Amino acid sequence: MKTLLLGIKDVKEVLSLKEVIIAVEEGYIAYNAGQVQQPEIVSIEIPENNGETDIKSCYNKLNESISVKIASGFYNNGKNNNLPTMIGTILLFDGKTGVPLCVMDGSLITGIRTGAAGAISSKLLARKNSKTVAVFGGGGQARMQIYALCQVMDIQEVRVYSEYQNELIKYKADVEENTNVKVIICATPEEAIKNADIAISTTPTRKYIVHKSLVKPGMHIVAVGADMAGKNEWDPKIFKGAKIVNDSIAQCVSRGETRNAIISGVIKETDIYAEIGQLIAGEKPLRESDDEITIFDTTGMGIQDNVTAVKVYEIAKKNGLGEYFEFI
Amino acid sequence: MKTLLLGIKDVKEVLSLKEVIIAVEEGYIAYNAGQVQQPEIVSIEIPENNGETDIKSCYNKLNESISVKIASGFYNNGKNNNLPTMIGTILLFDGKTGVPLCVMDGSLITGIRTGAAGAISSKLLARKNSKTVAVFGGGGQARMQIYALCQVMDIQEVRVYSEYQNELIKYKADVEENTNVKVIICATPEEAIKNADIAISTTPTRKYIVHKSLVKPGMHIVAVGADMAGKNEWDPKIFKGAKIVNDSIAQCVSRGETRNAIISGVIKETDIYAEIGQLIAGEKPLRESDDEITIFDTTGMGIQDNVTAVKVYEIAKKNGLGEYFEFI
């Protein structure tokens, strides 16, 4: 019984944003249709090594596969060694037999499926004529959100703000090289978000950077950075009266940006409008006016890894990438 | 960055019961000393394919490694295909950097570390002159318990009972070939347990097979089979007045044989004497008389997989076994 092994180069060769967006949409639909088992996220914190490891697992009845992603962040990496801070591994098992089908690098998949999630939300919820995007943060996910968004909307200007201004020169160069948008480096959150149709936050901050007064009617917000209790990018008051969409209500309420709005008393859980799968499935209206503020809060779901990894596995197998190893 | 790959043959070549027993003892001590993070077990049930997948993860501060074991039981395997029902994969990550050190077959490790656990308990709790062992069940774990026990005690006779009597011919041949004990096939549980010093249960039964009247003073019981709510091998009344030792109280109370004694009202959680790590660490007396009935309930812990997998990894690396693959 042979298991396919895919390194980061193989995964990179195979990953196409367009296909991942389609796969993640299918994943959200499967989840909404009750075809997905997604156990609680397992978290191991290793403060003595400035690291953490999360395990996201998922069974998708539609593709009959079990995925397990082990994703680590070790924040001393790159200082005393040449390792990346974020390292991930994904395993795929046949849901009919338990056989390990594939072990692949999972470092790139988290980024791309998260970018896909944001883009899907903008396609559904942002005003159709959206052109200007504010981005908070200048790292990998701040890039990926734009790359994915450009697949689904005609974006012209990105206004980027980061606490670490020096990373934005490279950000601008990269995004302008890979897309047709113009990137404007902003010195304040206010400057970035002014006139933005869509605003995307990708930072790990624990003290919010966007005050309520900066959010204008009609804006679509994509809240990506807050994925565990304690992280907070947006003034909770922004949630008041907004159309709030979650990837998974259970997760967003316990570890997403939505949690902050609930624990600060701005909204109740029942004020959450929908899960994104419900919108894709057409169960509820999307944006209903040009003045509505819409918020998509994403904490990242095992089903996104599942559908993306299966897509990678299938294309890699077809194209003869990777190597095989007999574990059993 | 290269990751070591070990197939089932490599793991088999490296696994030595003697070393696994030492490793598991060290693991129990580490757990008892608060050096181990062992998140909740993740369970995915796939009834439509008669299968289940469990994920046991662990961080051991002493060896600075994270282990993740994905173990499946697909009970249609072997009928329409040639696959084993139990398939496992273990990943080891560097707890300092998150780097994947090793991906190995985990099918054998569960069996051997569980055998080691039983043997460790008998060494600690059984009467020193124990010679005769009753075994319930005739599968792989029924063998492994004896192989491990023979490493630590001078056993002379095994009296085995199984609901499936026809599997016991092969059981007798295997155990007699691999040890110096004489195996006696018994037609009833009563016949098996009569005069036994140690009694070991390894079945998946949900309706207990050993009545209280069969358990004599001085006996040491090793309860292996019950590892999830609903499974039950021993009359709960046996727990009354016995010295009850768990691998992990949290796990045994929620999914072990101990659970049955508690929910049937025979004992309270406070009647549990100790975790096995406390005994190895010398924090509490072991057996205190020849008449005492001692019970070891084991549900299987991530730390056992961790220490065993690290042992396998280290020996395999030293001996140049397996292959390497660059995931990152």
- pLDDT number for residue A1: 86
B103 pLDDT band, cuts 50/70/90, is: very high
Residue A95 is encoded by which pair of tokens?
């849901």
Active site residue B170: no
Give A-chain residues touching B64 at CB under 8 angstroms.
49
Nearest to A17 by CA among A130, A249, A179, A135: A179
Give B-chain residues touching A10 at CB under 8 angstroms.
none
Computed over every residue of chain A, the mean pLDDT equals 97
β A132-136/A198-201 pair status: parallel
User: How far is CA B49 from its chain centroid?
Assistant: 26
- pLDDT number for residue B181: 98
Q: Do A53 and B39 touch (CB under 8 A)?
A: no
Q: Do B55 and A61 touch (CB under 8 A)?
A: no
Read off the pTM: 0.92
Task: Quote ipTM for the complex.
Answer: 0.91
Give A-chain residues touching B328 at CB under 8 angstroms.
7-8, 84, 87, 105, 107
Q: What is the pLDDT of residues A268-300, one digit of tens each?
A: 999 999 999 999 999 999 999 999 999 999 999
CA distance A60 to A64: 6
Range A176-195 burial, b when 16+ CB lie within 10 A, else e: eeebebebbbbeebeebbee
Q: Which positions 101-160 of A are in contact with B (Cβ < 8 Å)?
A: 103-105, 107
CA distance A50 to A32: 36
- pLDDT number for residue B1: 86
What domains, with CATH codes, occur in chain B?
3-109+303-325 (3.30.1780.10), 117-300 (3.40.50.720)
Give A-chain residues touching B98 at CB under 8 angstroms.
51, 53, 72-74, 77, 83, 87
Q: Which residue has the tokens 């040491």?
A: B220
Give B-chain residues touching A87 at CB under 8 angstroms.
97-100, 328
CA distance A115 to A109: 10
B155 pLDDT band, cuts 50/70/90, is: very high
Q: Where are the alpha helices (DSSP H) in A205-328?
A: 249-255, 257-263, 276-280, 302-319
Q: What is the pLDDT of residues B247-266, one digit of tens each?
A: 999 999 999 999 999 999 99
As a whole number, mean pLDDT of residues A161-182 equals: 97
β A86-94/A65-74 pair status: antiparallel
Q: Which positions 24-83 of B are in contact with A (Cβ < 8 Å)?
A: 37, 39-40, 42-46, 48-49, 51, 53, 55, 57, 59, 61, 64, 66, 68, 70, 72-74, 76-77, 81, 83
Q: Which of B18, B56, B61, B69 is catalytic?
A: B69
Count helices and strands in chain A by DSSP H and E runs: 10, 16
Query: In this complex, is the C-beta atom of B89 within 8 Å of any C-beta atom belonging to chain A?
Result: yes
- pLDDT number for residue B80: 84
For CA atoms A18, A24, A25, A27, give the dihedral sign.
positive
CA distance B98 to A85: 8
CA distance B272 to B278: 12
Q: Do B44 and A59 touch (CB under 8 A)?
A: yes
A80 pLDDT band, cuts 50/70/90, is: confident
Query: In this complex, is the C-beta atom of A100 within 8 Å of any C-beta atom belonging to chain B?
Result: yes
Q: What is the pLDDT of residues B190-223, one digit of tens each?
A: 999 999 999 999 999 999 999 999 999 999 999 9
